A and B are shown apart, each in its own frame.
Chain A
């Protein structure tokens, strides 16, 4: 029973355009969400996070949006660059169990030059 789902296994975008990666969750107790980026043969690296008290968090070219009523979050990358090509995982946790994160299965982003 997967509590965090990324339904798009892959996404292809032209360089300079916007990339939108989506994530859905089922547990209404989740109140902290993160995105990780993973290159081949490396471990995931933290990218950006958002707490449930916010609906948007921005860091440079990366913005995460949270829609609590829909239990949905998305990561926007604009403008997309070839170096952004990687697998992106979303993850969620509750403040009562901050060390335990539930991860999605990842979306592989390919940014074409």
Chain B
């Protein structure tokens, strides 16, 4: 039974398109995150939500918009995709102020 799931696993799309990645956790956690793993393999936090409220918003282009319809879901919508958006995107969750985060399997996005 998957704790943190992401869909889709792979996403290949053209520049300029709009796409969404969905994330769901069934752990009852309060906090959810989006990370981007870039070509240099660093995992960088993009957003964090606690109980549907945005608590961390790093320097991310406005084309990225997270949406949290409830505390079990945190979706990522990306407008006007660019080549540089190609990366692996990881969703994670944790109890609030807990050091341990539980990661999803990642979504590999390729923008052509």
Contact = CB atoms under 8 A, between A and B. Distances in A.
Contacts, number: 56
Interface of B is mostly: strand
B79 interface: no
A69 interface: no
A103 B43 contact: yes
Contact of A101 (B40, B45, B90): B45
Contacts of A34: 99-100
Contacts of B44: 103
A110 interface: no
Given A44-B103, A46-B100, A105-B41, A99 B48 contact: yes
Nearest to A89: B43
A104 B43 CA distance: 7
A41 interface: yes
A56 B41 CA distance: 27
A71 B27 CA distance: 34
Contacts of B68: none
Contacts of A104: 42
Interface residues on B, range: 20 to 34
Interface in A35-62: 36, 41-46, 49
B60 interface: no
Given A43-B90, A98-B97, A103 B42 contact: yes
Interface string B94-112: 1011111111111000000
Contact of B92 (A42, A43, A89): A43
Contacts of B45: 100-101
